[in-house]
Amino acid sequence: MPPALPIYLDNHATTRVDPRVLEAMLPFFTESYGNAASRSHRFGYQAKSAVETARTQVADLLGCSAKEIIWTSGATESNNLAILGAARGQAKRGTHIVTLATEHKAVLDPVEALGSEGFEVQVLPVSGDGTLDLQRLESALRPDTLLVSAMAANNEVGVLHDLAAIGEICRRNGTIFHCDAAQACTIRPLPVRDLGIDLLSLSAHKMYGPKGVGALYVRRGRPKLKLIPLLFGGGHERGMRSGTLDVPGIVGMGAAAVLAREELPRVDQLRTRRDRLFDGIIAALSGVHLNGPPLDNRAANNLNLSFDGIEAEALLMAIRDIAVSTGSACTSATLEPSHVLRALGIEADRAHSSLRFGLGRFNTDEEIDYVIQRVAASVTQLRAMRPLYEDPEDPEPKWPLP
């Protein structure tokens, strides 16, 4: 049976709300709709109790205490609160901030903003496959290095940094370690204590929960980690994030965290399906390049490919019934190659011919087979329309010249 169209393969951008998550959320719109800060009636208690259950569910996913979870509006806010809040709260301990060139803009932009507040920012380069040379990190750290921010899974090329090693390097140096894990918690375990992580950002809509909700793990205990809040007004979330809580959204994020834990062992199915996609495309086409690390060393749901002689935008048009992103995903408005592909040293031509496939929990083998066939047919057709394209592995042009 042919799969239903369109096919969604853009799970790095956002994920479908799992029906089990939606079901958990619904009563909190129309029945238990109290304000979690209302202490004088049952509506308020019910909301408060649901928020605290969800806090425990997210904490269980990270192996931390519920007291270490702060609700936010998403990973952008979590990253901003972690980076700006920790830097401003601890500026006396040092002013050197280190991050990586391949981080999400929601990390790079607040780090850059610190540069104009008197902090010294250092953005480390990565290797050609996007991995971080730990030696380079170690030698970048100084006695006054306050914070290192490094992500758990890259949203474009799926790099999985060695968090335990980064955590250990930071701990030895007395440096705060922030980790943007928005793409990671459905892909790899994140035991924050074992990994030496002090601050960790999550986003509900990247883990089959609703948009507009996120969480920040803030390590408790010594040495004390003080965050200066971004939002003031009522002192919610132990003063770190004021504002009425999105109770249905938070309940959804809690349910999504429970599912993330339960489904983690099934990540191998995702990987097998991703490998099926890669193998199928490679078997059908020549002149295809894998951007980023080898398949066995990247997020199980990620594939980023460049197609020789192809404009990614043209390919997107040709495969309209498949939802994917181009390599310039985050800056599509400007048509600039993405900063991540540039940081990997990928040339403009190859970056402009790149597609990002992001698989998810709901994809099927039938969908993958359809995608392989559509991509192969469309690339072949587009190349045939470009007589100057020559197959690098086949000196005789496969396509008849006009």
Ligand X SMILES: *Cc1c(COP(=O)(O)O)cnc(C)c1O
Contact residues for ligand X (CB under 6 A)? 74-76, 104, 106, 151, 155, 180, 182-183, 203, 205-206, 214
Q: What angle do CA 16, 198, 124 make, to 5 degrees?
A: 85
Q: Which pair of tokens denotes residue 223? A: 């040495």
Least distance from ligand X to the Cβ atom of residue 174, Å: 26
Cβ nearer to ligand X, comparing 103 with 198: 103
Least distance from ligand X to the Cβ atom of residue 246, Å: 12
Q: 3-state DSSP call for residue 19?
A: helix
The residue nearest ligand X at its CB is 74
Query: Is 330 among the catalytic positions?
Result: yes
Least distance from ligand X to the Cβ atom of residue 17, Å: 14
Contacts within 8 Å (CB) and 24+ apart, 239-245? 240/70, 240/81, 240/85, 241/70, 241/71, 241/72, 241/81, 244/35, 244/36, 244/37, 245/35, 245/36, 245/37, 245/47, 245/51, 245/71
Q: Which pair of tokens denotes residue 311? A: 């404009």
Backbone angles phi, psi at 397, to 5 degrees: -55, 130
Cβ nearer to ligand X, comparing 104 with 271: 104
Cβ nearer to ligand X, comparing 76 with 99: 76
Least distance from ligand X to the Cβ atom of residue 367, Å: 22
> Containing H/E element for 69?
strand 69-72
Do residues 29 and 344 lie in contact, with contact meaning Cβ atoms separated by under 8 Å?
no
> Containing H/E element for 150?
none
Residue among 64, 170, 179, 330 flagged as catalytic = 330
Cβ nearer to ligand X, comparing 156 with 308: 156
Cβ nearer to ligand X, comparing 75 with 100: 75
Least distance from ligand X to the Cβ atom of residue 374, Å: 26
CA distance 168 to 31: 47
* Residues labelled as active-site residues: 330
